[in-house]
Amino acid sequence: MPRMRLDRLLSNMGFGTRSSVRELLRAGRVTVDGAVAKDAGISVDPAAQAVCVGGERVEWKENRTVMLFKPRGVLTAARDPKQTTVLDLLPPMYRALSCMPAGRLDKDTDGLLILTTDGQLAHRLISPAKEVKKVYEATVDGPLSDADVRAFAEGLEIDDADGVFTAKPAGLSVLSSADEESRARVTVTEGKYHQVRRMFAARGRTVLTLRRLSVGGLVLDPALSPGQWREMSDEEIALLES
């Protein structure tokens, strides 16, 4: 872990701007290895030294990985001048640490979204070659049949900007089917633009609601509500790396 300025460390960890961090230092609220720190420019190793603010140790992690229950209406982006993004739902620390979405969810789709500072983990989740399974629950207009299940399993032809492509075989499990509305779970291993919606459209169905339930072996925490988040445990991250 490289050393860094004390004020930069505390600012990145969510203790305010560098000027507000300097106020904490002047007030004697910051200690390094038990000694009161007054100099904002001193170099510290956050992994090896005990940096405390108000008596509480600053927990340093080399990487931060977050599970977010993304709500509908929020963009999967770092910044947008007009619309709320997923980074706006997290404390400023995460933006300062360059925590970024590992993949995307459409604006009108909710559910599990992973954000991380770990570039290798993000690449694994995004890379088509890794074929990481993603499970969605969809509500569509109209009935679903065994023919739809077979079509998903065989790989549907979907119109694309560059022509027609064949989506990889996907799992379709019909939870309920009626003339007015049906519910189903879909398992895909690729993530092209609006893919699940376009797969249903290829079968003459319009998606009314769409929620991502899981990525790899990681399931959305049922204790989270839309807009809520929490950092993931090492055991949960291991589910994504296996």
Active site (catalytic) residues: 106
Tell me the three state secondary structure of residue 238: helix
Interhelix angle 234-241/119-126, rounded to 10 degrees, is 40
CA gap 35, 76 in Å, rounded: 42
Nearby residues of 76 by Cβ (< 8 Å), 6 or more positions away? 70, 85, 86, 101, 103, 104, 105, 106, 107, 113
> Under a CB-based contact definition with an 8 Å cutoff, are residues 193 and 162 in contact?
no
Long-range contacts made by residues 75-84, C-beta under 8 angstroms, separation at least 24? 75/107, 76/101, 76/103, 76/104, 76/105, 76/106, 76/107, 76/113, 77/101
Is residue 176 within 8 A of residue 170, CB to CB? The reply is no
Diameter of the chain measured on Cα atoms: 71
Q: How far is CA 14 from CA 7, 24, 58, 109, in A?
A: 11, 13, 10, 29
Closest by CA to 190, choosing from 208, 210, 169, 164, is 169
**Radius of gyration of the CA atoms of the chain, in A:** 22
